[in-house]
């Protein structure tokens, strides 16, 4: 799942994966995400349901739309300590 990326070392490239695979991979990765580290999710759409779940579970996120249609969502624990 991971290849080097300037935003984060932990990258899930879910472009071209069929639901629910991106969801499952993201859940698994967040379960293991150490505080202070970030996870980068790449998709071809904005994952609105995920945003809600992230807020409910103490995560923060930042989304960026790239020119090629990719949406990059950077996720980290709201409390870093």
Partner 1 sequence: MQAVLSFDQAPPFAAPFRFFLTAPLFPLLAGLLLLIEGPPALASRWTPAMLALTHLIAVGFMLQAMLGAMIQILPVVAGANLPRPLLVARALHLLLVTGALALAAGFLGLFASAFPLAAVLLGTGVGGFALIAAFSLRGIPATSASIRSFRLALVGLCGLLVLGIMLAGGLSGLWRVPLIDLTRVHVNWALAGWGLALLSAVAYVVVPMFQITPAYPARFTRAFGPALLIAVLLASLAPLAADDVAELLQMPVIVLAAIFCGTTLWLQARSKRARPDATQKFWRLAMLAGLAAALLWAVARIVPPLAAWDGWPLLFGILVLVGGFMSVIIGMLYKIIPFLIWLHLQNRGKGRVIAPNMKAVLAESRMLRHLRLHLGACALLLAAVVWPAGLAHLAGLALMVASGYLFTNLLAAARLYRQHAARVDAVLAEAVHAVAKEGA
List residues binding partner 1 (CB under 8 A): 16, 18-20, 23-24, 27-28, 30-31, 44-46, 48-49, 51-53, 56-57, 65, 69
Nearer to partner 1, 5 or 45 (CB): 45
Nearer to partner 1, 46 or 62 (CB): 46
Cα dist from 47 to 17, 36, 56, 69, 76, whole Å: 14, 23, 15, 13, 16
Minimum Å gap between C-beta 37 and partner 1 is 15
Minimum Å gap between C-beta 6 and partner 1 is 23
Q: CA–CA separation, 81 vs 69, rounded Å?
A: 35
Nearer to partner 1, 6 or 35 (CB): 35
Minimum Å gap between C-beta 50 and partner 1 is 9
**Are 36 and 67 contacting, i.e. CB atoms less than 8 angstroms apart?**
no
3-state secondary structure of 69: coil
30's tokens: 């967040």
């Amino acid at each position: 799942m991971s290849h080097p990326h300037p935003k984060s070392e932990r990258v899930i490239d879910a472009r071209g994966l069929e639901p629910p695979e991106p969801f499952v991979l993201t859940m698994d990765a967040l379960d293991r995400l150490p505080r202070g580290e970030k996870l980068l999710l790449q998709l071809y759409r904005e994952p609105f349901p995920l945003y809600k779940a992230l807020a409910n579970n103490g995560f923060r996120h930042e989304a960026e739309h790239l020119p090629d249609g990719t949406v990059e969502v950077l996720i980290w624990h709201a409390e870093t300590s």
